[in-house]
Amino acid sequence: DADVTQTPRNRITKTGKRIMLECSQTKGHDRMYWYRQDPGLGLRLIYYSFDVKDINKGEISDGYSVSRQAQAKFSLSLESAIPNQTALYFCATSQLNRGRRTDTQYFGPGTRLTVL
């Protein structure tokens, strides 16, 4: 979805390097998320944010940190990258539909990260 952009799209780095993945959205959504996808596994939530002042850990937050610089921007950092962080990373946004108590998540195109 072009409304959610991620940079870079591909990155190869070495063990121990600090890496930042960036996500921007033009959908005006309050909620933003970072996921990782590994072959044969479902997407797993790393961090999520419901507004600029709200940051929450997901199920696999160890080794990662995030920053919500503005409503439209949510970045993911790997302070010291390790090979098992090699994966496809997705940013997503959503806005709660209070009537149906659901929110559809819109995903970015993904960042393929390789840690050597």
Instruction: Output the six-digit token pair for 59.
Output: 């199920």
- Select 11 or 17, whichever has its Cβ closest to another protein: 11
Contact residues toward another protein (CB under 8 A) are: 1, 4, 31, 33, 40-45, 48, 50, 90, 92, 94, 96, 100-110
- Select 17 or 61, whichever has its Cβ closest to another protein: 61
Beta strand pairing status for 111-115 and 10-13?
A: parallel
Query: What phi, psi does 39 have (nearest 5°)?
Result: -55, 130
- Select 84 or 102, whichever has its Cβ closest to another protein: 102
CA distance 4 to 94: 11
CB of 102 to another protein, least distance (A): 5
